[in-house]
Amino acid sequence: MLQNVIRSAPDAESADLLVALAAEVRASGVLGRSRLLIGLFDYLVARAVEGRSPKEREIAYEVFGRSGDFEAGQDAVVRVYAHRLRAKLDHHARTAASASGHRLTLAKGEYRIVAEPETTAAGPTLPASPPLSRRSSLFVLAGLLLAAINLAALAVVLHRPATPADLAAASPVWRPFLDSRFPLTLVVGDYYIFGESDDGMEIARLVREYGVNSPDDLTQFLMQHPDKAARYVDLGLSYLPTSSAPAVTRLSGLFAGRKPVTVLRASQLTPDMLKTHDIIYVGYLSGLGPLSAPAFSGSNYRVGESYDELIDTGTRKAYFSQGAMGPSRGGVYSDYGYFAAFRGPAGNHIAIVAGARDIGAVAAAEQVSSAEGLKALKSVAKTSPAFEALYAVTGEGDVNFQSHTLSMRPRSAPRDWSQDPSAGS
């Protein structure tokens, strides 16, 4: 007979069960396409078949290629991926029943894959009722059905979970945007790109010039560099960070059914709109465009040598995104999310939801659209017309694994809408 939980030195039958359950998990596709997540799963299954529970340092070396100076306190890659794997296995157990009646799980507090029985909640056994006549049965069934309908309707009224729009309506962070007379525009930070040809005919490459962020900028640039006029071509293209889609989805949901939202690229934002619209910016700090000056004029932070670095103007502490150096081995990196809200030049409302890189932007959007994040911002939003928050984030790609608040405090309104945000302290 199979053991209830396979713990160590499994016999042949238990080892075969582990292998069969692992094959079901892989075939389901629940692990996705992450090479490292699949590698961790296969490694832990192999160790489980051997009856071993590997240590964190061992996994760091053999799965994630970390060097001999690996320090678990400084590098959370094993714990982060183990958390993801445990969640994937739990999801698989909830959504796919195994013919064996068992499931795979990652033991709490250990790096050990185990097979355990699937459980189903059994209700209490009720005493048998005397038989009813057919007519009585119909009346009873009708009464039960009516009661069930009434209870269901009452449950919907009393227990309907709060929607994002409900959260926005109740929050001092977003309520001013809902009540405002100005139209609401969601501005997505984009990066303008143009073409370059070698012979004036075929486009040989795409070019991103940091000082050129719109067709008008390109025209101005070519006026200043006439030698490049024959080679640079406006293709009407721009690109968006991968974090834009999930961030825009979360933020637009805050106003669903309550206020129309127009979505524009930052390269389409005109100076006039800064005083005629309520604006919510979403994207990288480096993609703020005409919002750069108001974002950091009056802020407790200034931009460092690049938009991957924010410096606290009071403490001089620097916050530098690891995303600037490219993804570390294993793909996990630390980043920073930033949120600010303040008044525009005509009394309109402006919010910045941004990150140095993708996971920072996603984390900031999650913080300001969740019940927990909005609750944390409530006190500062109620006491100050201008405020900001900084979040520390760890994740991979555009997926934020975990984030926490570093600071949340009032800021000043923009002093000068034309000020260079990187100047001064």
Helix, strand or coil for residue 126?
A: coil
* Angle 229-230-231 from CA coordinates, rounded to 5°: 95
- Which residue type, as a one-letter code, is found at position 48? A
Residue 334 pairs with which residues in a beta bridge?
A: 394
Please report how many Cα atoms fall inside a 13 Å half-sphere around the Cα of residue 284, on the Cβ side: 20
Residue 214: predicted pLDDT: 75
Q: Which residue has better confidence, 366 or 35?
A: 366
* Among the ranges given (20-24, 94-98, 197-201), the one the predictor scored with the smallest mean pLDDT: 197-201
> For 110, which DSSP code?
S
Residue 342: predicted pLDDT: 96
Residue 157: predicted pLDDT: 43
Domains identified in the chain and CATH numbers: 12-117 (1.10.10), 166-189+241-410 (no CATH), 191-239 (no CATH)
Does residue 422 surpass a pLDDT of 50?
no
Q: Which residue has better confidence, 424 or 120?
A: 120
Say how far apart CA 90 and CA 77 lie, in whole Å: 20
Q: Is 156 exposed, middle or buried (0-12, 13-18, 19+ CB in 10 A)?
A: exposed
Cα 125 from chain centre: 45
Residue 146: predicted pLDDT: 55
Residue 12: predicted pLDDT: 74
230-265 pLDDT tens trace: 778 888 788 888 888 889 999 999 999 899 999 999
276-326 pLDDT tens trace: 999 999 999 999 988 999 999 999 999 998 889 999 999 999 999 988 765
8 Å CB contact between 20 and 49:
no
Question: What Rg do the C-alpha atoms of the chain give, in angstroms?
Answer: 28
Say how far apart CA 53 and CA 43 lie, in whole Å: 11
57 Cβ contact partners less than 8 Å away, ≥ 6 residues apart: 70, 72
Does residue 135 surpass a pLDDT of 90?
no
Does residue 193 surpass a pLDDT of 80?
yes
* Among the ranges given (90-99, 129-138, 350-359), the one the predictor scored with the smallest mean pLDDT: 129-138
Residue 128: predicted pLDDT: 44
Does residue 121 surpass a pLDDT of 60?
no
Residue 1: predicted pLDDT: 36
Helix, strand or coil for residue 50?
A: helix
